[in-house]
Structure 1
Amino acid sequence: MKFKLFLSLFLCLVLSTAFAQHKKFKFIDELCEYEGTYDSKKYTEQQLKDTYNLYYGESWLLSAADYRHRSKPTEQVLTELKTEYQTKRAKLKGFQLVKNPVFISFRDSLVLSMDQEYLAKSALVKALKDPKALLEYKAPDSCAINYTKPLVEGGEALMKAYEVLTKHQMKNNGDPQRLYNKYLSNIQSSQKYEAAFNEVIIYGWWNCVNHFIPRPTYDTRFSENYHKLFIKVDTLDCDEP
């Protein structure tokens, strides 16, 4: 009798301890809201939050460099860009991630991408004032030959690059005549070199450089591995697809 009582008490203690370390964590993705049950002995709530925010949280792209307009002084834009870069990078590096190769690799990819984006955008912003600043950035050969060189040289080399760029854009645009009319208007303007520079540096140089910046892959591996952190995941609500 005493043994049965002891066994019952022991089982109750084991079960209560097990349930005590099982905690709930709510999270959402593009379509649904979930509530996951996790083992608090394996992961902390902060680890789950940081790992979630790494993938589903804020955008890690740098938005401070308003390189399409010259409404702000160059130094102000560069300061804002540097502040945003340093803040976001520190946040990424400070995340307490669940130790999983998929999560760690994703963060490393984000940091590398952000580093390259910062260098490229810094060069672009400086180049709006001094085109030679583009030489500070080691652009891929195709970008350097087609865009960096004529942007730095200016004059007829720049105008030729603008012509080639426009013809290329027209092949992939739903309204090529509009692009061509804009091109004709720009090259007939008294500010034709400035207009050509603005078009080539944004739609030529930047688009080319941005294409080569390594970006993390957003696929199902992250979400699948994240869901596996939980003992069970209940779907609370979903939007219509």
Structure 2
Amino acid sequence: MKNLVVIVFFLASFSPLSKAQEVFEWYEGSCLSIAVIDSSKANYQQVQNAHYTLVQSSELSQPFLAYQPKDTAYLKIKSIRFECHNFVTELEQMEYPKGDYWANLKKMRLENIREQCLLREKAVIALNQPKALKGTPYCKECSYYVNALEKGGKTLLNAWKELHEKEVAGALDPDPINKAFEQHWNAPDKELWARIEVLRYGWWNCILENQTAWFNENQYHREFKKLMTSIQLECH
């Protein structure tokens, strides 16, 4: 009986085993990072969401700009809306690490996706209804192309011609470019060609030039590493 008491006391002197540590791995360049997650800040799924789904997930994939008239048959507003709905719903339902930074990052990502969705949808509509671009993000910065698309006719054709001249000026071999442009300029559907190219190479390039990164990558990396208690690097 005495021995039993000693054994019980001996076992009671040890604290229960701590919760199993969760390890998360990711690559930065050629280095593999192997980190132990700080369970007081996040769990594995939240870290995975923050690293992959939130920042490195693939962008929207539905086509919204044509290269030539026959491509317009593949530009479907319904498909764009369906993809956007799924993307936004998935993001809204995902859990992220605790703290204001991660809550704000999720909010900014949702705003970024919604903006992209709106621009893509309006781009498809604008092929037949150019006024759809009025009031969209960056319409002020890209007003030259927005106005040209809305007015059509000579104004649109002049904008198209200017884009062509810029392309030729920067080309090593301008002959194929000039030949293709002349063919499209003399085509029965040349105004459709003009809308397609002004939308893609004028308006959309202007959008890309004026967009800013939706998050600060350096800050993101700093905050992400704060979710770990230790990080080990294996570089090859």
**Same-fold call, TM > 0.5?**
yes
Q: Per-residue deviation at 1:46?
A: 2.0
Relative to structure 1, is the Cα distance of residues 231 and 208 closer, same or farther in structure 2, using a 3 angstrom cutoff? same
Question: 1:1-241 counterparts in 2 under 5 A?
Answer: 10=13, 12-13=14-15, 16-17=17-18, 20-59=19-58, 61-68=59-66, 69-72=71-74, 77-135=76-134, 137=136, 139-144=138-143, 146-217=144-215, 219-236=217-234, 238=235
Relative to structure 1, is the Cα distance of residues 112 and 8 closer, same or farther in structure 2, using a 3 angstrom cutoff? same
Q: Per-residue deviation at 1:140?
A: 2.8
Contact 1:64 1:84 in 2 (8 A): yes
* CA–CA separation in structure 1 for the residues paired with 2:102 and 2:166: 39
Where structure 1 has 5 or more consecutive residues not aligned to the other structure, the ranges are none
Q: Percent identity?
A: 20
Q: Per-residue deviation at 1:133?
A: 2.6
Q: Deviations over 1:93-141 (max 9, x none)?
A: 2221112444333322222221221111111101223333333635432
Q: Per-residue deviation at 1:159?
A: 1.1
* CA–CA separation in structure 1 for the residues paired with 2:29 and 2:101: 20
SS of the residue 2:195 aligns to:
helix
Relative to structure 1, is the Cα distance of residues 49 and 23 closer, same or farther in structure 2, using a 3 angstrom cutoff? same
Instruction: Kindly report the root-mean-square deviation, in angstroms, between the aligned alpha carbons of the 2 structures.
Output: 3.0
What amino acid maps onto 1:156 in structure 2? K
Q: Deviations over 1:153-193 (max 9, x none)?
A: 22111111112222233445555554344333322333322
201-210 or 95-104, which moves further after superposition?
95-104
Contact 2:108 2:214 in 1 (8 A): yes
97-106 or 174-183, which moves further after superposition?
174-183
* CA–CA separation in structure 2 for the residues paired with 1:157 and 1:52: 46
Contact 1:116 1:213 in 2 (8 A): no
Count of residues in correspondence between the two structures? 227
TM-score when scaled to structure 2?
Answer: 0.79
221-230 or 167-176, which moves further after superposition?
167-176
Q: Per-residue deviation at 1:56?
A: 4.8
What amino acid maps onto 1:105 in structure 2? N
What amino acid maps onto 1:149 in structure 2? N
Q: Deviations over 1:77-99 (max 9, x none)?
A: 11111111111112222221112
Contact 1:21 1:39 in 2 (8 A): no
Relative to structure 1, is the Cα distance of residues 213 and 118 closer, same or farther in structure 2, using a 3 angstrom cutoff? farther
* CA–CA separation in structure 2 for the residues paired with 1:184 and 1:31: 48
SS of the residue 1:37 aligns to:
strand
